[in-house]
Chain A
Amino acid sequence: MGKTLFEKIWDAHVIAQDEGAPAVLYIDAHLVHEVTSPQAFATLRERGLPVRRPDKTYATMDHAIPTRIGALEVDWPDDAATQVRALRQNCAEFDVPLYDIEGEIQGIVHVIGPELGVTQPGMTIVCGDSHTSTHGAFGALAFGIGTSEVGHVLATQCLMQSKPKTFAINVEGDLGTGVTAKDIILAIIAKNGAGGGVGHVFEYRGPAIRALDMASRMTICNMSIEGGARAGLIAPDETTFSYIKGRTFAPKGDQWEKAVSHWRTLTTDEDAVFDRELTLDASALAPMVTYGTNPGQGVSINGRVPRAQDLEDPAERRSLQNALDYMGLTEGQPIEGQHVDIVFIGSCTNSRIEDLRAAAAIAKGRRVSDHVEALVVPGSKAVKAQAEAEGLDRIFSEAGFEWRGAGCSMCLAMNDDKAGEGKYVASTSNRNFMGRQGPGSRSLLMSPIMAAAAAVNGRVTDVREIL
């Protein structure tokens, strides 16, 4: 029997497998940020251990930093500044390369990894961040880890892992106009549930996936964790290779040809068997919007918020009622037309240049609704510079969006970008948990073009009507 893509990468990285113990898995690239690393560096210090492979470790700052352009470090909140200083000190002490906010390369860890060409097919990649699944878009086995495990990888470049199961997600057909990768992944999670992928690695397959560019593939893999999966994978192809070619850490010269010929073997064999499968028809999808407090609570733009009475499972009913109480939404209401106070375009899900171009095309020549506060936060300094070179910043500013510096920002409201109590946020990020975007904030997750449309209309809008 053949192997799945996941099994090929897994098998190539198991360096030890003792009887009755989890596998010891070698890690090719370790991404580090300011929030989940300080306690791990402290462990190394306590035990007198070095970072084993600083050359396979890449640090940046993204979660806690302010994104207001011109915000000086002296004006930062004390705790954010302390965390950034701790990262600088740790990277200096342990010789880890740091992409500092004061340097030319910096941004959300899952945006700059691929941008720099660190992310390559067949690799194992980890980070103390659940959205590490993003890198699976390149056919890399990439997953989030806790701070203890960050310490293990810093010290040994290895992790102890139990082998997950495999889950094929087949996306057939072609996407309609105005329907995007974000809508595919929100539809998958709505169908399979926020816990539906627990213990599994998703592999996204089928013609609708093959047709996507790398930014879109990253959007899908990014939210694998929102479907409960350990990781998400897309087999590499010409789209992947042409994205990587020429990037800073990409193989060069003869090494490039050698790498590509290896990467071409990284597909699931025809006779391989997945533990589970799910199939979705992309041509039947419409833009998606979440109404609840977990990413599985989503509905198409033409749909309605469910009624508790329609749900059989008492736990699901209770979950829905809690969500609607928090969100201030009514059972059975159409999601289209829902009032919006804030629009956030950004996050490791949707802050790449392709996302900003798409949102700018909607914003161009229009105005953000008077009652809406809208911000656009590019994923990295490189994305910001590219957008400015293309004039996207002007399009956004003229339309009334605020243009920001790179970082995680209002995706998790760790810095000073917080939505107010009870405010409805049309957000391109990945989580609609209670209070995620600020105390009492109410998130409505959607694609960048849907968020831009919500900004100009001041309410949840079917973007297809204004394309």
Chain B
Amino acid sequence: MQPFTTLTSTALPLRTENVDTDQIIPARYLTAVTQEGMGDGLFSWWRYSRDGSPNPDFVLNQPQYQGSEILVAGRNFGIGSSREHAVWALTQYGFRAVISPAFADIFYNNSLKNGLLPIRLPEDTVRSLLDLVEEAPKTSICIDLQKQTVTLPGLADSASGITETSWSFDIDPFRKQCLLRGLDDLGYLLDKEDQISAFEAAASL
């Protein structure tokens, strides 16, 4: 897993609530037997017209947001199916962090296992961030996982509704260390072999 320490990037605004994993990656991309090729399917219902051409109205196709590694979205991001393909689609496209007021549980867990940082910020803050990056797409956002902060360097602009320029976010301390160091769960679990065997023996499993 690619470690996540700090990230400075512009952000792509997706002002939609309840973005489900069928929207992130539709079922027809799930017939793959490998992880590859998911980036092309990211948001495909919205991103492509029915004839397969890019839909110019969808934010992902707008030139000012090309190269953004941070996605800012409405609440309940990632509801629905457990498909990890949704996270692979986001990371393969180039996203490294998603900011939303709330995430679905399975999506949140899947993100952490793939080096995609899900950041929960209050609804008002996310709304301000959406306003800001829609108005000023060049705005840089800095994420520091060690400090658990999202900051807007050099920006204090009351006109845009941004009265703060730094927010802290919560993350499970163990998950934070895994992300910082690029570790997955499997090594940790394999190290528990003695306890697993003892549990099975005690319960006659």
Interface residues of A (CB under 8 A from B): 15-16, 20-22, 24, 26, 28, 35-36, 38-39, 42-43, 47, 49, 52, 56, 63-64, 77, 79-80, 82-83, 86, 128-130, 143-149, 151-152, 155-160, 162, 164, 194-195, 198-199, 225, 228, 230, 293-294, 296, 315-316, 318-319, 322, 412-414, 421, 431, 433-436, 439-440
Complex CA–CA separation, A146 to B87 (angstroms):
10
Residues of B within 8 A of A26 (CB): 196, 199-200, 205
Contact between A315 and B17, CB atoms less than 8 A apart? yes
Given contacts A130-B80, A152-B189, contact A145 B105 (CB under 8 A): no
The stretch from B106-114, B147-155, B156-164 touching chain A is: B106-114
Complex CA–CA separation, A256 to B156 (angstroms):
68
Contact between A148 and B33, CB atoms less than 8 A apart? no
Complex CA–CA separation, A421 to B49 (angstroms):
13
Given contacts A26-B199, A194-B76, contact A64 B31 (CB under 8 A): yes
Pick the residue among B22, B35, B103 that contacts A436 (CB under 8 A).
Answer: B22
Residues of A within 8 A of B18 (CB): 194-195, 293-294, 296, 319
Nearest 6 Cβ contacts at the A-B interface: A79-B31, A195-B76, A146-B84, A146-B110, A144-B82, A38-B33
Contact of B34 with A by CB under 8 A: yes
Residues of A within 8 A of B32 (CB): 38, 79
Residues of B within 8 A of A128 (CB): 82, 84
Minimum CB–CB distance for A376 against chain B, Å: 21
- Closest chain B residue to A12 by CB distance? B203
- Closest chain A residue to B202 by CB distance? A15
Pick the residue among B17, B76, B174, B200 that contacts A228 (CB under 8 A).
Answer: B76
Residues of A within 8 A of B175 (CB): 22
Given contacts A36-B83, A130-B81, A315-B75, contact A228 B104 (CB under 8 A): yes
- Closest chain B residue to A314 by CB distance? B127
Minimum CB–CB distance for A199 against chain B, Å: 6
Pick the residue among A230, A318, A434 that contacts B22 (CB under 8 A).
Answer: A434
Complex CA–CA separation, A20 to B26 (angstroms):
36
Pick the residue among B30, B75, B185, B193 that contacts A195 (CB under 8 A).
Answer: B75
Given contacts A35-B30, A152-B185, A414-B31, contact A144 B172 (CB under 8 A): no
Contact of B16 with A by CB under 8 A: yes
Contact of B118 with A by CB under 8 A: no
Q: What 5 new A-B contacts, CB under 8 Å, besides A39-B34, A195-B102, A319-B74? A: A47-B186, A159-B185, A194-B76, A293-B18, A435-B26
Minimum CB–CB distance for A352 against chain B, Å: 21
Contact between B45 and A145, CB atoms less than 8 A apart? no
Contact of B134 with A by CB under 8 A: no
Contact between B174 and A148, CB atoms less than 8 A apart? no
Given contacts A28-B205, A146-B110, A228-B104, contact A156 B31 (CB under 8 A): no
Complex CA–CA separation, A294 to B21 (angstroms):
12
Contact between B20 and A433, CB atoms less than 8 A apart? yes
Contact of B195 with A by CB under 8 A: yes
Most buried by A among B82, B106, B110, B185: B82
Complex CA–CA separation, A162 to B114 (angstroms):
17
Contact between B174 and A198, CB atoms less than 8 A apart? no
Most buried by B among A63, A146, A228, A296: A146
Complex CA–CA separation, A221 to B81 (angstroms):
15
- Closest chain A residue to B46 by CB distance? A434
Complex CA–CA separation, A258 to B117 (angstroms):
46
Contact between A294 and B105, CB atoms less than 8 A apart? no
Most buried by A among B31, B102, B123: B31
Residues of A within 8 A of B185 (CB): 148-149, 152, 159-160
Contact between A146 and B16, CB atoms less than 8 A apart? no
Contact of B136 with A by CB under 8 A: no
Residues of B within 8 A of A294 (CB): 18, 20, 79
Contact between B82 and A230, CB atoms less than 8 A apart? no
Residues of A within 8 A of B35 (CB): 39
Pick the residue among A195, A198, A440 that contacts B50 (CB under 8 A).
Answer: A440
Contact between B196 and A413, CB atoms less than 8 A apart? no
Contact between B174 and A146, CB atoms less than 8 A apart? no
Q: List 26 A-B contacts (CB under 8 A).
A: A20-B174, A22-B172, A36-B30, A38-B32, A79-B31, A86-B33, A130-B81, A145-B82, A145-B109, A146-B84, A146-B113, A147-B84, A155-B186, A156-B189, A156-B192, A156-B193, A157-B196, A195-B75, A195-B102, A228-B76, A228-B79, A228-B104, A412-B81, A431-B80, A435-B23, A435-B45
Complex CA–CA separation, A52 to B205 (angstroms):
13
Contact between B79 and A194, CB atoms less than 8 A apart? yes
Pick the residue among A43, A47, A82, A159 that contacts B33 (CB under 8 A).
Answer: A82
Minimum CB–CB distance for A205 against chain B, Å: 22
Complex CA–CA separation, A16 to B198 (angstroms):
11
Minimum CB–CB distance for B6 against chain A, Å: 22
Residues of B within 8 A of A439 (CB): 45, 50
Minimum CB–CB distance for B150 against chain A, Å: 20
Pick the residue among A49, A86, A158, A431 that contacts B196 (CB under 8 A).
Answer: A158
Minimum CB–CB distance for B29 against chain A, Å: 10
Residues of A within 8 A of B174 (CB): 20-22
Complex CA–CA separation, A250 to B140 (angstroms):
59
Pick the residue among B15, B50, B114, B193 that contacts A148 (CB under 8 A).
Answer: B114
Pick the residue among A144, A149, A198, A318 that contacts B113 (CB under 8 A).
Answer: A149
Most buried by B among A28, A164, A294, A296: A294
Contact between A162 and B20, CB atoms less than 8 A apart? no
Complex CA–CA separation, A436 to B82 (angstroms):
14
Complex CA–CA separation, A318 to B75 (angstroms):
12
Interface string of B110-133 (1 = CB under 8 A from A): 100110000000010000000000
Minimum CB–CB distance for B59 against chain A, Å: 14
Residues of A within 8 A of B15 (CB): 318
Residues of A within 8 A of B85 (CB): 147
Complex CA–CA separation, A199 to B106 (angstroms):
10
Complex CA–CA separation, A343 to B199 (angstroms):
48
- Closest chain B residue to A197 by CB distance? B105
Complex CA–CA separation, A218 to B199 (angstroms):
30
Minimum CB–CB distance for A161 against chain B, Å: 9
Residues of A within 8 A of B30 (CB): 35-36, 63-64, 414
